[in-house]
Amino acid sequence: MPVGFPSIRVDQTNAKHHLWCNNGTWWVHYTVHFDHRKRRIRRSLGTRSLTEAILRRDALLLRIASDGDLVQERPRQQGEPAPDRRLFA
């Protein structure tokens, strides 16, 4: 699996940047870049507390910024050929 690094823009005036609440549980979203591609990632923070969600988000984004994030390949549909990843055909 490739390792992606985040592209994060932070709005300092918004304490809830990259967070949203879905049915009472806080989630984080961010974008990682890898192999000249990008993927939008969404992860549950597993808490109903906004204060805890902010702490978990900050820790997660700091870890990903320093270590990167493993990006899983998307599953292909049955019968779909593997993508051509050559730079020149």
Domain residue ranges of the chain, discontinuous segments joined by +: 3-68
Residue 34, C-beta contacts closer than 8 angstroms, at least 6 positions apart: 2, 3, 4, 5, 71
What is the per-residue pLDDT for 84? 58
Q: Are 32 and 1 a contacting pair, CB within 8 Å?
A: no
Give 52-67 pLDDT, tens digit per residue: 999 999 998 888 887 8
Which regions of the chain are under pLDDT 70?
1-9, 70-72, 74-76, 80-89
- Taking the CB of residue 30, how many other CB atoms lie within 10 A of it? 21
Q: Does the predicted model carry a pTM greater than 0.85?
A: no
